[in-house]
Each structure stands twice: as structure tokens, then as C-alpha cells.
Amino acid sequence: MSARSNKRHSASQRRRRRGTENDARPLERPLGRDRRGRVVFVACEGEKTEPDYLEYLDETFGPGTPDRPQFSLHPIAVKNGMRPTQTVDMVVKDAGTDEAWVLFDRDGTDRDADIQKALVTAAANKVEVGFSHPSFDLWLLLHFQAFTGAQSGRSTVVVERLRNSKATDAFRDYDKRNNKNVSAPARRDALRDNEQRAVDRARALVNQCEHGDCQAAKAKWDPVARSATKSSESRDRPSWQSWAARSGHAEHCPVLRRDPSTDVWRLLVTLGIATAP
């Protein structure tokens, strides 16, 4: 097993996002990881792109520096991907009392009810949500250029801009023949040193939200203490609206209308990879 694949934390049960139960085989579970420093579990909707990106962050920034504490990211992914609710259930099961995040997208309009349920469950379990509208591809694009304009859950324009970015040639064949990896050295090199630009552009999208009261300056990324089991005291549970507002969007701003937007920037800020003045 390669060192990279050995780092990926994956589920032991079958999960599916599309297709049938028979074609949703779990990825291989690793033998173990160094748990020194800050430990963060992240369950990913996607099978490839998001886990690759997290492994890039872990390998590039995880060891830490004199100015930034070390951390250890534990991506959770399964063959054929997961639906949003499944990402939350999986990270709750695997993270225990450690920090927990999920990454999932709008990705069309056929699973709005599932996204809503995922947001409610994430709030009840204090799982941070990195929601992207229309898709995680937007977060990659923001490393190279700003982007505006509602996409209604479709990633066609975002991917086209990513392929044709003047800043890099590394993504020219992105999403062609299922080529969505972020493990290729050229793609990692292209992303590296552009993290702060991506964060700044993602924060700008919050400020440009049509709902007016959304402000990136109101976002939160401080680690939140979690329990291994859901609290029985309702007063200890944030509402899903207030939990979703940790993104900087207002509580009354409908999550499914935050188009375009991506909350992945908060993960980088909480890890000290980038800053948010």
C-alpha cells in the first residue's frame, strides 16, 4: 500500500451516493496514523477530489512550523462517494470526541432534503460543515481567480474556468475521463502558495451574498468541544441555523441559495494555513 493511500481513513460499512448498494464498495481502512498534535476527522462526499486535497493539506502543512502547531487530518471517504447525511453519520461514528468536519456540495437540486437533514444532524453533533455551492471545484478555482454568478447547482462553468485558468496549465484535463484527482504533483504545485488567495476570494463571496446581512467577518472557526454521544440537554445543542451561520452567512440566509459559495476556507483558517483578518 502506498504511503498516501495508507493515510486515508475510510469507512468499514457500505455507503452509496449514486448507483446501487452493490457498486458502493468501501475503500481500504489504514493501519493507523500518528495522532500527535491537533486531530481533525473530515468526512467527504466525494470519493477522490476532496480526500486528495485533504491529504495534500496534511502532508504539506500538517507537520507544523515554529509559528503554526502541527495537525493531523483524517479523511473519511468511500467507494462511489456518500450523500451529505452519510458524511455526517460517518464522521460522528469515527471521530468520537475529536474535531469533526464534513465536506459536501449542492451538486444539483435532487437532494435538497438530504442536505437539510445533514445540516440538522451536524448541528446536533457539533460537526463543522464545509458546504460548497455548486461544488468543491469552486474552491479549487478560487486558488487561481475570483468567481461570481449563480450556477444553480451546476458545475459546468466552474470546471471550464478551472481548465482554462491563465494561472496554471495543471488543470487543463480536469474532470475529463474522470480525472479529478488532486494528487498529481503538478496540481499540488499549482495549488501551493495560493491558499490565502483562495480564502480571501471565498470570504468575498460571503460578503457579496444577495441576502445582505452575510459578512465573512462574522464567521467562526474556533474548535468546539464535542461529546462522543449526542447531548440529552437541548440547551447544549445549537440550532442548525446558528450552526450554519458559523460560515459568516446570516441565520436567515437559506443555505441552498448561497450561490456561489464555499465554506472550505474556514477549515484552512482554523488549521492556521491561512488567516482571516
Give the tens place of pLDDT for each residue, 177-191: 989 999 999 999 999
CA distance 245 to 214: 9
> Would you tell me the crossing angle of helices 112-124 and 84-95 to the nearest 10 degrees?
20
Sheet order of strands, 38-44 included: 9-10, 71-77, 38-44, 99-105, 128-133, 261-262
With respect to residue 40, please indicate whether it lies within any of the assigned structural domains.
yes
Mean pLDDT of 214-232: 85
pLDDT at res. 227: 83
Within a domain: residue 232? yes
Amino acid at 120: V
In a domain, 275, yes or no: no
**Percent of the chain scoring above 90 in pLDDT:** 80
Mean pLDDT lowest for which of 33-37, 55-59, 104-108, 252-256?
Answer: 33-37
3-state secondary structure 86-146: HHHHHHHHHHCCCEEEEEEECCCCCCHHHHHHHHHHHHHCCCEEEEEECCCHHHHHCCCCC
Name the residue type at position 103: L
Instruction: pLDDT band for 6, please (50, 70, 90 cuts).
Output: very low
User: pLDDT tens for residues 101-110?
Assistant: 999 999 988 8
C-alpha to C-alpha distances, 178 to 33, 47, 83, 139, 187, nearest whole angstrom: 29, 11, 19, 18, 15
Residue type, 187: R
- Whether residue 21 has pLDDT greater than 60: no
Inside any domain, residue 19 = yes
Q: What is the pLDDT of residues 142-194, one digit of tens each?
A: 999 999 999 999 999 999 999 999 999 999 999 999 899 999 999 999 999 99
Specify the pTM: 0.88
59 pLDDT above the threshold of 90 = yes
Residue 29 included in any domain: yes
Question: What's the grid cell of residue 254?
Answer: 437559506
Q: How is residue 135 written as a grid cell?
A: 461544488
Decide if 65 is inside a domain.
yes
Q: Domain limits at 220?
A: 3-270
Number of domains in the chain: 1
Q: Higher confidence at residue 29 or residue 137?
A: 137
Q: Is residue 161 part of a domain?
A: yes
d(CA 194, CA 203): 14
User: Does residue 277 fall inside a structural domain?
Assistant: no
Spell out the SS3 assignment of the chain.
CCHHHHHCEECCCCCCCCCCHHHCCCCCCCCCCCCCCEEEEEEECCCCHHHHHHHHHHHHHCCCECCECCEEEEEEECCCCCCHHHHHHHHHHHHCCCEEEEEEECCCCCCHHHHHHHHHHHHHCCCEEEEEECCCHHHHHCCCCCCCCCCCCCCHHHHHHHHCCCCCCCCCCCCCCCCCCCCCHHHHHHHCCCHHHHHHHHHHHHHCCCCCCCCHHHCCCCCCCCCCCCCCCHHHCCCHHHHHHHHCCCCCCCHHHCCCEECHHHHHHHCCCCCCC
